[in-house]
């Protein structure tokens, strides 16, 4: 007899995938952030939503249980997000952002934390509890703010970079804050401060030191196999291993993954890694938001409205004006400063970590910590709406004169060279000679590694992959130059780029006249046949050698090239054009 099938272990994945399949398309159609959709869906399918009906209905309703397994998997959403941010940021960019990270960041935490501490003391909390509460509530939500900014394509603006810089400082502060909680607890006297904090410092040194030595050779070895599956497995291994090592040592998992991302940002594999982990990041972040929504109990809000709604309201009402004033002091106009204040005003996910730790060590009563965390969750659910309001505020107020944006914060507008063999290298040299910013892509990891060693901006990856080219900045590219030696690969790149960017300048290497005509039909702005260019260069050398003035030769060569291009675009067969090799051979 066949044993009955136990569906319970599959309920949570099926529920989540069902929510993802419905929520994202629906909210995109309504032009509402999917983050808000995931939060609402989590409330609906969680134990405090449909779960309450399960006890009164005669049939069983599948519910996303509030269990540790779901929470553990959901936590990796933030981990993958921070790893991806590390890849995007790079050490060089982090140094450029130091004014915001180590200037605006500490001032925001200090000022907001101090104000919240005074309020907690006024409400009668002990000094230790007020310190922990003020510090925890001063933090904001990286996991919601960053995706909301990325979705609106504002992460690379001055507002986005300043907001992210503050969030980055807050993430760096989580480990010291956990140390403070341990020191303020009753068990602090039993433990040396050095012993308490040493594992975290050792973990950072280990991740940075071992990662710098091991990560690039690891990915070079994997890339040599030319296996997409193995490359994806290596990406997942690096993200999860660094996160677990950081958590084991007392740091946040997200910080460990962020450090790994920073190390890989300087390698030729950066863009390919971003492409590989993006689907996992999106799904796991969605699960994180669903789990946050599922943890929100509306009945608790009704039972303790003053504590829960009061926290949610006060957080934004106190933090937002303070943060806006600080941002204004750092040179941002009032519209941008107000947007930063609204985004960073609500609470963040790290408040859960710090306040839960404080409740476990006895610094905060468990019931009070739970009420505060419900208020934090409520404030987090408001972030997408605050972001939409801030964007609308900017539209209503009109353009604001605010000096030129710093170049290091502006979106990149580069020329993308796909294929870095002998043709691509010559193109790159000329780009450098004329001081044109460019980025190169090649599918051979050895070519990419050698170019990187020379300090050239070359990335390893598949140029015919739409997601990969998007990660390389196709949306803001100045032009795309396809120089691969395989005609089918050139065709694929030209077709893909023209589909994504109808306005893009696309210059492609063609094998012969027939191939050039095909490329023009696919949407190339210019197609350069190798056979024609070789004959023109030969003619130029011969004419100069026999004494024809250089100026006249160059003018005639340019004229001949223009005539040839026009006939190819018109799909004609010029008399002077060399015929394809196969056609000449057949006539013999």
The Cα 179–Cα 358 span in angstroms is 11
Q: Read off the pTM.
A: 0.68
Q: Please tell me the number of Cα atoms within 13 Å of 74 on its side-chain side.
A: 26
The Cα 381–Cα 375 span in angstroms is 10
**DSSP single-letter state for residue 103:** I
- Tell me what percent of the chain is helix, strand and coil, each rounded to the nearest 5: 70, 5, 25
The Cα 410–Cα 561 span in angstroms is 37
Backbone angles phi, psi at 434, to 5 degrees: -100, 10
Residue 70 confidence (pLDDT): 65
Residue 32 confidence (pLDDT): 66
Q: Measured in Å, how far apart are the chain's first and last C-alpha atoms? A: 77
- Domains of the chain, start order: 10-26+33-43+45-397 (1.20.1530.20), 412-510 (3.40.50.720), 532-588 (no CATH)
Residue 506: strand, helix, or coil: strand
pLDDT tens digits, one per residue of 400-411: 333 333 333 344
pLDDT tens digits, one per residue of 472-529: 888 888 899 999 988 999 999 999 999 988 999 999 998 888 888 889 889 899 888 8
Residue 164 confidence (pLDDT): 85
Average pLDDT, the chain: 79
Residue 185 confidence (pLDDT): 65
**Does the pLDDT value for residue 427 go beyond 70?**
yes
If one counts every other C-beta atom within 10 angstroms of the C-beta of residue 317, the result is 10
pLDDT tens digits, one per residue of 316-335: 899 999 999 999 998 888 88
Q: What angle do CA 490, 494, 498 make, to 5 degrees?
A: 175
Residue 111 confidence (pLDDT): 94
**Does the pLDDT value for residue 587 go beyond 60?**
no
Which residues face 441 on adjacent strands?
418, 459
The Cα 415–Cα 385 span in angstroms is 36
Strand order in the sheet with 479-482: 458-460, 438-442, 415-418, 479-482, 505-510, 526-529
**Does the pLDDT value for residue 186 go beyond 60?**
no
pLDDT tens digits, one per residue of 379-424: 888 888 888 887 776 544 444 333 333 333 344 578 999 999 888 8
Residue 152 confidence (pLDDT): 73
pLDDT tens digits, one per residue of 308-318: 888 888 888 99
The Cα 470–Cα 474 span in angstroms is 5
pLDDT tens digits, one per residue of 138-180: 999 887 888 788 777 777 778 888 898 898 888 778 767 876 7
CA distances from 576 to 565, 569, 586 (A): 12, 15, 19
Answer whether 375's CB lies under 8 Å from 347's CB: yes
Residue 5 confidence (pLDDT): 67
CA dihedral sign of residues 27, 33, 36, 41: positive
Average pLDDT over residues 206-220: 85
In this structure, the dihedral spanned by the alpha carbons of residues 31, 34, 38 and 39, taken in order and rounded to 10 degrees, is: -70
Residue 68 confidence (pLDDT): 60
Q: Which of 188-192, 201-205, 508-512 has the lowest mean pLDDT?
A: 188-192
Name the packing angle between helices 253-264 and 68-96 (round to 10°).
Answer: 40
Higher pLDDT, 65 or 216: 216
Helices and strands in the chain, H and E counts: 27, 6
**DSSP single-letter state for residue 100:** I
Q: Which of 43-57, 401-415, 464-478, 531-545 has the lowest mean pLDDT?
A: 401-415
Residue 243 confidence (pLDDT): 85
């Amino acid at each position: 007899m066949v044993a009955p099938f136990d569906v319970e272990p599959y309920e949570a994945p099926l529920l989540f995938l069902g929510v993802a399949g419905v929520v994202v398309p629906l909210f995109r159609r309504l032009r509402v952030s999917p983050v808000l959709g995931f939060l609402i869906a989590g409330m609906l399918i969680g134990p405090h939503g449909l779960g309450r009906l399960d006890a009164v209905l005669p049939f069983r309703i599948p519910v996303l249980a509030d269990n540790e397994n779901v929470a553990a998997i959901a936590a990796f959403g933030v981990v993958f997000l921070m790893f991806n941010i590390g890849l995007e940021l790079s050490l060089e960019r982090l140094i450029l952002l130091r004014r915001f990270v180590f200037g605006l960041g500490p001032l925001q935490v200090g000022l907001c934390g101090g104000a919240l501490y005074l309020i907690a003391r006024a409400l009668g909390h002990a000094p230790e509890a007020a310190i922990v509460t003020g510090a925890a509530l001063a933090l904001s939500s990286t996991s919601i703010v960053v995706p909301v900014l990325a979705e609106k394509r504002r992460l690379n603006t001055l507002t986005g970079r300043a907001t992210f810089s503050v969030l980055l400082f807050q993430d760096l502060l989580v480990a010291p804050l956990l140390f403070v909680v341990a020191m303020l607890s009753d068990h602090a006297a039993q433990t040396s401060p050095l012993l308490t904090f040493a594992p975290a410092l050792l973990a950072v040194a280990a991740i940075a030191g071992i990662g710098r030595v091991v990560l690039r050779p690891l990915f070079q070895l994997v890339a040599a196999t030319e296996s997409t599956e193995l490359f994806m497995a290596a990406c997942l291994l690096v993200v999860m291993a660094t996160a677990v090592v950081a958590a084991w040592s007392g740091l946040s998992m997200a910080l460990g993954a962020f450090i790994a991302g920073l190390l890989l940002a300087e390698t030729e594999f950066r863009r390919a890694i971003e492409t590989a982990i993006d689907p996992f990041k999106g799904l796991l972040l969605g699960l994180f938001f669903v789990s946050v929504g599922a943890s929100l109990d509306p009945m608790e809000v009704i039972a303790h409205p003053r504590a829960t709604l009061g926290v949610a309201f006060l957080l934004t009402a106190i933090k937002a004006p303070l943060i806006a004033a600080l941002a204004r002091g750092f040179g941002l106009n009032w519209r941008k400063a107000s947007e930063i204040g609204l985004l960073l005003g609500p609470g963040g996910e790290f408040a859960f970590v710090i306040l839960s730790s404080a409740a476990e060590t006895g610094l905060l009563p468990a019931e009070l910590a739970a009420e505060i965390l419900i208020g934090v969750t409520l404030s987090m659910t408001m972030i997408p709406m605050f972001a939409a309001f801030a964007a609308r505020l900017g539209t209503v107020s009109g353009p604001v004169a605010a000096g030129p944006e710093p170049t290091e914060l502006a979106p990149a507008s580069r020329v993308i060279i796909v294929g870095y063999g002998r043709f691509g290298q010559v193109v790159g040299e000329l780009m450098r000679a004329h001081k044109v910013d460019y980025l190169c892509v090649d599918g051979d990891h050895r070519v990419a590694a050698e170019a990187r060693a020379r300090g050239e901006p070359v990335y390893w990856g598949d140029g015919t992959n739409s997601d990969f080219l998007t990660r390389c900045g196709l949306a803001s590219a100045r032009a795309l130059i396809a120089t691969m030696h395989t005609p089918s690969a050139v065709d694929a790149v030209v077709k893909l780029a023209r589909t994504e960017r109808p306005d893009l300048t696309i210059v492609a290497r063609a094998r012969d006249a027939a191939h050039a005509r095909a490329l023009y039909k696919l949407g190339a702005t210019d197609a350069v046949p190798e056979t024609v260019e070789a004959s023109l260069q030969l003619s130029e050398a011969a004419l100069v050698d026999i004494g024809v003035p250089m100026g006249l030769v160059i003018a005639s060569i340019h004229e001949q090239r223009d005539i040839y291009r026009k006939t190819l675009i018109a799909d004609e067969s010029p008399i002077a054009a060399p015929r394809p090799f196969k056609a000449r051979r057949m006539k013999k």
